[in-house]
Amino acid sequence: MTTKLYLESIEAGYYQHFSAVVTEIHQEHVVLDRTLFYPLGGGQNWDTGTLSGPNGPVQVTEVRGRDGVMHTVGEGHQFSVGDEIKGSIDWDRRHAHMRMHTAQHLMSGLVYEMFDGARTVGNQIHSDRSRIDFNPIAFDEPMLNSLVERANEIIAQNLSVTDTVMTREEVNEIMPPERTNMDLLPSSVRELRVVKIDDGFDLCPCAGTHVQQLGEIGEVNFLGKKSKGKGTQRFSYDLHQPAINISPKQATL
């Protein structure tokens, strides 16, 4: 079991460096007792970066896994079980994912509120562009313009983003289950990590990485829409850079 350091708080997502111990080796994959690297999941792409051990640094090119997180470092890495390592994530990629994922939360909430409860039924978060699938909906140009305009108005308010742990029942008392896609979560999961925008503007169970202030997102730029059949439409977007430059925390976790 790998401890996922980025889940400890919204703030933990801003750290770039961490220490860990190698617990398993599977050919070109290394498992650690703790990690800052985000593995592929929840529509969000993985982090990249480096792991440095007794024989120097190696590149982490892919990260996957739910319990034991597997860091792909390639053959010839020379790691051994028990090695103490230093990890470092690619900050620009991490922060781009944080911005994109928080923008997805914002727009998913707005589409639900503005367009008769249309749900988010899929998403893919990348560093350069992302997409969200909504159903049931048929976007026209005025709808798209109003969505993007409203999203950017709210981003300009620089609302805070926080996280907490809540039970399913507590979440359902605040938000309709269809808005939070509660039916997609295993019924055995009783406590959820929840990401909130402001105090009640939006609330959604999520294990991704997010910014602390909406102003970090920058401006949402609509790229295009595509029909995915059966009332589903895909909304693609990228982000203009925000006016402020955010640096990672320099301490090591």
The fraction of the chain above a pLDDT of 70, given in percent, is 100
Query: DSSP labels for the chain?
Result: --EEGGGS-TGGGGEEEEEEEEEEEETTEEEESEE-PPPSBTTBPPP-EEEEETTEEEEE-EEE-SSSPEEE--TT----TT-EEEEEE-HHHHHHHHHHHHHHHHHHHHHHHHTTTPEEEEEEE-SS-EEEEEES----HHHHHHHHHHHHHHHHTT-BEEEEEEEHHHHHHHS-TTTTTGGGS-TT--EEEEEEETTTTEEEE--S---SBGGGG-EEEEEEEEEEETTEEEEEEEEEPPSSPPPPEEEE-
| Range 2-12 average pLDDT | 96
pLDDT at residue 23, rounded to an integer? 98
Residue range 209-225: mean pLDDT, rounded? 97
**Range of weakest confidence among 4-8, 175-179, 193-197, 238-242:** 175-179
Average pLDDT of span 47-51: 98
Mean pLDDT over each residue of the chain, to the nearest integer: 94
Domains recognised in the chain with CATH numbers: 3-89 (2.40.30.130), 98-240 (3.30.980.10)
pLDDT of residue 10: 95
**What is the average pLDDT across 14-19?**
98
pLDDT number for residue 58: 96
Return the pLDDT at 245: 86
pLDDT given at position 180:
84
Q: What pLDDT is recorded for position 183?
A: 78
Q: Inform me whether the pLDDT recorded for 29 exceeds 90.
A: yes
